[in-house]
């Protein structure tokens, strides 16, 4: 389910001095990214109160009659068989073991998951068993408002036999044991749960569901109160592997028929390689999971209806279909275009691993032939995780493996690498059994691989090499060689910036912008900024390219084969921006991060204040209205709390509609750059309030008259940045 731990290194400087005007850190992908930011209108200060200083910035079960409709179960699911209200003797067809690490701020959503499971419950032939460790944040902490105090507000670990209830939000499952405070991020606890579950609930087939935070090859399943440690702990990928191996061995079981990871970003080759020996089928997501994660009523209902007829593949397809029903076309709350979900036949992962190893060996042995392909793939392939850093973009390198292979195939000059890259695509497609993607992730193929920008490799490569895949695959060698290949370089040069006019609409019409760029080029961006209280405020950030050199690949990414000299980049600037309004009509401009030029969703950072409590910075994700140009009519999909824990930034999803009605306000957040080039965040005491989420509206407003600065910035693969500026005036 649902967390992205984004390491802080991605926000570090990337070869840009303080005098480089607007940006610290590396630049966004050019051919695949467009990132408009709104302005802060010069007269916004007039809205501030006088004197405001702007800083520099357990139950026994509730029986339900057989064959009757159960509240919360769609009619399309149909009648369910009779429930069982206590553990049943003998060997069942299936046992579903749910390992729910809720000792963190996902406590509420995971309790919702238990409620969804209780709408189906256990039936003859199917046992559903959960181990759940709940949370209690420190009193008075910013997280205190997220504490779920329902169902007795206990904060220990418990094991439940999941029984069907009448749709109540009260836990009515049968409590089997209270284990006290334990560390569910420790592989020993995973091992013990697996061994206990198999011994006490014998079955012909077993599924394991693991739900909580996830962070790709870095691990997941965070326990905030993890004795004997005094700080939060996360299960690393080697620990996940050892917990699975030891649990299965102690249980005398060869493999799980299905593993479903209800966690963000876990659909990676590195995770697949680690768990493949222990799992027949695996369901996971490349992208951030929505706050609600899997809809377990949808996922488990087909199993309890026909348990003897379902194998791991069929149950895995039911999990993918639950994502399709819950977040796809016709979904009750509307579609979420950012969702990804895929199911894999794990017996075919070794063949995929071998294909990647072959490609990696060939690349490392002849890096000169493939380094541009590697660098371009890091910039142009779909990458997964939060997208609110308006200039750096996502730098974590969780890149779609098929798209990475396709870009390398397109750009390498080595015939053997072209063939091996195509073999990677073929092997991944052969391993994938099912998938569902929202409209904004339509080209995702189910698994990512770690491919960050070259200068970011060195920072995390030692940790990567401790994972099972990173330790043994030549991909680590290819990454290191790729990073070294771009260790030197010179900043590209930008000349001849031309800003056109729009005679038909001089106030808000499209304005062409062109420039000449020479040198070794990774990407080019245009930044439009205006003055606000003596600071430069980015109005819009957009990736630009030379249209004559741009090519869209069948697998989705767009690539530009840059020349050494004479690249003629171009774009069009429309002086409009987005605002957020709520009840009462007050609105403020949004700092919008649009993932790419054809994106159907966008992210923005704002302040969230539950009235009477502390302010927290959150990320909001919106979908564009279909058939509408610009931001008007966009719909709020979900939100993510942004938390710092040790050396990582966690993005924890929440459902805005579940926040306390009439007690919530959003407040503006803007990135600014002072005259010395120092970047900071501007917070203003403005609030957009609402009684219900439907009160929130995204509007489009024209930019105010004044002088705007156009900055063209070009970066090479070594992180050297060239900068040129021009100005234009809106009447």
Residue range 580-604, pLDDT digits in tens = 999 888 898 887 776 566 678 888 8
Residue 658: inside a domain: no
Judge if 364 and 481 occupy the same domain. Answer: yes
Judge if 97 and 218 occupy the same domain. Answer: yes
Judge if 251 and 103 occupy the same domain. Answer: yes
| 380 CB-near residues (< 8 Å, 6+ apart) | 29, 30, 31, 32, 403, 407, 557, 558, 559
For 704-726, give the DSSP string: PSEEEEEEEEEE-TTS-EEEEEE
Residue 76: inside a domain: no
**What are the backbone angles phi and psi of residue 208, rounded to the nearest 5°?**
-115, 125
Judge if 368 and 233 occupy the same domain. Answer: no
Judge if 238 and 139 occupy the same domain. Answer: yes
Question: Which residues sit opposite 680 in a β-bridge?
Answer: 672
Q: Is 63 exposed, middle or buried (0-12, 13-18, 19+ CB in 10 A)?
A: middle
pLDDT value, residue 68: 44
Report whether 279 contacts 65 (CB < 8 A): no
C-alpha to C-alpha distance for 358 and 217, rounded to whole angstroms:
21
Place of tokens 């076309």: 329
Count: domains in the chain? 2
Of the pLDDT bands very low, low, confident and very high (cuts 50, 70, 90), residue 530 is confident
Which residue, among 79, 47, 50, has the nearest Cα to 66 in the 3D structure? 79
Instruction: From residue 105, give the alpha-carbon distance in Å to each of 155, 209, 534.
Output: 12, 19, 39
C-alpha to C-alpha distance for 482 and 360, rounded to whole angstroms:
11
Of the pLDDT bands very low, low, confident and very high (cuts 50, 70, 90), residue 389 is low
pLDDT value, residue 27: 24
Residues in the chain: 731
Residue 313: inside a domain: no
C-alpha to C-alpha distance for 296 and 387, rounded to whole angstroms:
28
In this prediction, residues 381-408 reach a mean pLDDT of 80
- Letter string b/e over residues 287-303, b meaning 16 or more CB atoms within 10 A of that residue's CB: bbbbbbbbbbbbbbbbb
Judge if 397 and 251 occupy the same domain. Answer: no
Choose the weakest-confidence range: 182-186, 515-519, 610-614: 610-614
Chain segment 209-218, per-residue pLDDT in tens:
999 999 999 9
Residue 562: inside a domain: no
pLDDT value, residue 707: 87
pLDDT value, residue 457: 92
Judge if 252 and 370 occupy the same domain. Answer: no
Residue 37: inside a domain: no
Judge if 257 and 119 occupy the same domain. Answer: yes
Mean pLDDT rounded to a whole number for the chain: 85
The predicted model scores a pTM of 0.85
Judge if 249 and 391 occupy the same domain. Answer: no
Instruction: Tell me which of 485, 516, 541 is where a domain ends.
Output: 485
Look up the CATH number of the domain holding residue 144.
Answer: 3.40.50.11970
71-74: Cβ within 8 A, 24+ apart: 71/119, 71/166, 71/167, 72/116, 72/119, 72/167, 72/297, 73/119, 73/120, 73/297, 73/301, 74/297, 74/298
* 549 DSSP 8-state letter: G
Q: Which residue has the higher pLDDT, 218 or 79?
A: 218
Residue 356: inside a domain: yes
Q: Where are the beta strands (DSSP E) in 545-687?
A: 550-552, 558-560, 567-573, 576-581, 587-589, 592-594, 601-610, 615-623, 635-645, 648-654, 664-667, 669-673, 679-683
- Res 141 pLDDT > 90: no
3-state SS track over 112-166: HHHHHHHCCCCECCEEEEEEEECCCCCCCCHHHHHCCCCHHHCCCEEEEECCCCC
Judge if 252 and 364 occupy the same domain. Answer: no
Instruction: Tell me which of 261, 289, 324 is where a domain ends.
Output: 261
Residue 565: inside a domain: no
Of the pLDDT bands very low, low, confident and very high (cuts 50, 70, 90), residue 521 is very high
- Letter string b/e over residues 336-355, b meaning 16 or more CB atoms within 10 A of that residue's CB: bbbbbbbbbbbebbeebbeb
Residue 325: inside a domain: no
Chain segment 656-701, per-residue pLDDT in tens:
888 887 888 999 988 777 777 677 888 888 899 998 888 999 998 8
pLDDT value, residue 647: 64
C-alpha to C-alpha distance for 373 and 559, rounded to whole angstroms:
9
C-alpha to C-alpha distance for 57 and 47, rounded to whole angstroms:
18
Kindly report the number of other CB atoms within 10 A of residue 457's CB atom: 22
Instruction: Tell me which of 199, 233, 261 is where a domain ends.
Output: 261
Question: 176 is in which domain, residue-wise?
Answer: 92-261
Report whether 408 contacts 421 (CB < 8 A): yes
């Amino acid at each position: 389910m649902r967390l992205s731990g984004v390491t802080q290194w991605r926000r570090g400087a990337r070869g840009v001095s303080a005098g480089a005007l607007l940006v610290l850190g590396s630049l966004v992908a050019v051919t695949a990214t467009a990132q408009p930011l709104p302005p802060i209108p010069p007269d916004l200060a007039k809205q501030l109160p006088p004197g405001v200083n702007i800083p520099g910035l357990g139950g026994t079960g509730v029986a339900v009659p057989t064959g009757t409709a159960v509240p919360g179960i769609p009619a399309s699911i149909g009648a369910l068989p009779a429930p069982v209200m206590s553990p049943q003797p003998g060997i069942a067809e299936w046992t579903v073991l749910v390992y729910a690490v809720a000792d963190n701020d996902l406590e509420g959503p995971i309790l919702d998951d238990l409620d969804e499971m209780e709408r189906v419950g256990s039936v003859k032939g199917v046992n559903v068993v959960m181990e759940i460790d709940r949370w209690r944040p420190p009193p008075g902490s910013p997280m205190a408002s997220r504490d779920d105090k329902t169902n007795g507000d206990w904060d220990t670990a418990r094991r439940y036999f999941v029984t069907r209830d009448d749709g109540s939000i009260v836990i009515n499952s049968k409590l089997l044991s209270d284990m006290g405070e334990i560390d569910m991020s420790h592989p020993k606890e995973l091992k013990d749960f697996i061994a206990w579950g198999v011994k006490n609930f014998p079955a012909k087939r077993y599924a394991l569901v693991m739900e909580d935070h996830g962070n790709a090859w870095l691990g997941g399943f965070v326990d905030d109160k993890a004795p004997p440690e005094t700080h939060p702990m996360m299960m690393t990928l080697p620990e996940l592997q050892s917990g699975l191996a030891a649990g299965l061995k102690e249980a005398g079981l060869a493999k799980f028929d299905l593993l479903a990871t209800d966690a963000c970003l876990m659909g990676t080759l590195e995770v697949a390689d680690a768990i493949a020996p222990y799992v027949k089928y695996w369901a996971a997501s490349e992208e951030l999971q929505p706050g609600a994660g899997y809809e377990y009523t949808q996922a488990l209902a087909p199993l309890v209806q026909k348990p003897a007829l379902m194998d791991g593949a069929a149950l895995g397809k039911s999990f993918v279909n639950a994502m399709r029903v819950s977040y796809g076309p016709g979904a009750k709350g509307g579609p979420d275009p950012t969702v990804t979900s895929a199911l894999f036949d794990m017996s075919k992962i070794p063949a995929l691993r071998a294909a990647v190893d072959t490609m990696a060996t060939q690349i490392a042995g002849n890096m000169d032939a493939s380094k541009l392909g590697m660098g371009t793939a890091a910039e142009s392939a779909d990458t997964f995780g939060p997208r609110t850093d308006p200039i750096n973009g996502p730098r974590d390198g969780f890149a779609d493996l098929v798209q990475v292979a396709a870009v390398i195939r397109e750009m390498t000059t080595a015939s053997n690498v072209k063939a091996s890259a195509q073999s990677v695509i073929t092997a991944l497609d052969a391993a994938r059994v099912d998938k569902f993607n929202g409209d904004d992730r339509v080209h995702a193929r189910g698994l990512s691989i770690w491919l960050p920008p070259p200068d970011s490799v060195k920072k995390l490569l030692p940790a990567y090499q401790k994972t099972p895949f990173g330790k043994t695959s030549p991909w680590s060698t290819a990454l290191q060689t790729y990073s070294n290949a771009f260790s030197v370089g010179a900043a590209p040069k930008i000349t001849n910036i031309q800003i056109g006019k729009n005679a038909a609409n001089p106030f808000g019409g499209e304005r062409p912008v062109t420039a000449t760029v020479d040198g070794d080029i990774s990407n080019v961006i245009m930044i439009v900024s205006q003055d606000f209280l003596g600071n430069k405020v980015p109005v819009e950030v957009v990736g630009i390219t030379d249209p004559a050199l741009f090519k869209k690949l069948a697998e989705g990414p767009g690539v530009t084969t840059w020349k050494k000299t004479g690249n003629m980049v171009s774009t069009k600037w429309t002086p409009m921006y987005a605002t957020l309004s709520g009840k009462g009509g007050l609105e403020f401009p949004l700092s919008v991060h649009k993932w790419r030029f054809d994106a159907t969703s966008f992210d923005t950072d704002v302040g969230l204040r539950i009235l009477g409590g502390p302010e927290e910075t959150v990320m909001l994700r919106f979908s564009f209205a279909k058939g509408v140009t610009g931001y008007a009519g966009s719909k709020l999909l979900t939100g993510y709390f942004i938390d710092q824990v040790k050396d990582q930034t966690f993005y924890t999803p929440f459902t805005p509609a579940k926040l306390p009605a009439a007690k919530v306000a959003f407040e503006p957040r803007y990135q600014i750059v002072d005259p010395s080039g120092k970047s900071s965040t501007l917070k203003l005491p403005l609030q957009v309030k609402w009684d219900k989420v439907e009160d929130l509206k995204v509007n489009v407003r024209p930019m105010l008259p004044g002088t705007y600065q156009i900055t063209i910035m070009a970066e090479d693969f070594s992180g050297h940045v060239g900068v040129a500026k021009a100005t234009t005036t809106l009447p």
